[in-house]
Amino acid sequence: MMMRYSRQREAILSFLVSRKDHPTADVIYAHVKREYPSISLGTVYRNLAQLADSGIIRRLSFGDADTVHFDADTSPHHHFVCSDCGRVMDLQLEGLPLLDEAAGRHFDGIIQGHTIYFHGLCRECLQK
């Protein structure tokens, strides 16, 4: 089924683009609700799923927290999760070897990709 324009989806996407902290569905809902007071949480979830499935945004999930985060930046980069405040931040990592290829050497199937995330304490939480 083809994707039609909708004001709600546009508001969701433009909010997500404006943020670099990878908010969750309920945070997005709370903010978009200011512009569209009658928007429903289901609409937020449905649109996030559509946007993710069509490759416009990316789903992020981290082991500890069981809520999915969303990132409008689909360029290759990694993530850090603060184990104290839960904040999610971008993290650059240079000189990473070809992990998938290395993993494939000891593996019978096909490696298509991998996920890495780092955890620790962010600067703000260190200063207390």
The minimum distance between CB 5 and a copy of itself, in angstroms, equals 29
Asked if 87 and 94 touch (Cβ cutoff 8 Å), the reply is: no
Question: Is residue 31 within the footprint of DNA (CB under 7 A)?
Answer: no
Question: In the stretch 55-74, what mask flags binding to DNA with x, by CB under 7 A?
Answer: -----------xxx------
The stretch among 15-23, 24-32, 40-48, 80-88 that binds a copy of itself (CB under 8 A) is: 80-88
Phi, psi at 82, each rounded to 5°: -75, 125
Long-range contacts of 60-68 (CB under 8 A, 24+ apart): 60/22, 60/88, 60/117, 62/88, 62/117, 62/119, 64/119, 67/24, 67/25, 67/26, 68/24, 68/25
Given 14, 20, 21, 40, the residue binding DNA (CB under 7 A): 40
Output the six-digit token pair for 107: 């593996």
Under rule CB under 8 A, how many of the chain's residues touch a copy of itself? 42
Give Rg (Cα) of the chain: 17
Instruction: Rule CB under 7 A: choose which of 19, 31, 43, 104 binds DNA.
Output: 43
- Intra-chain end-to-end CA distance of the chain, in Å: 52
Binding site for a copy of itself (CB under 8 A): 59-64, 66, 78, 80, 82-83, 91-97, 99-100, 102-103, 106-123, 125-126
Interface with DNA by CB under 7 A: which residues? 1-9, 24-26, 36, 38-43, 45-47, 49-50, 66-68
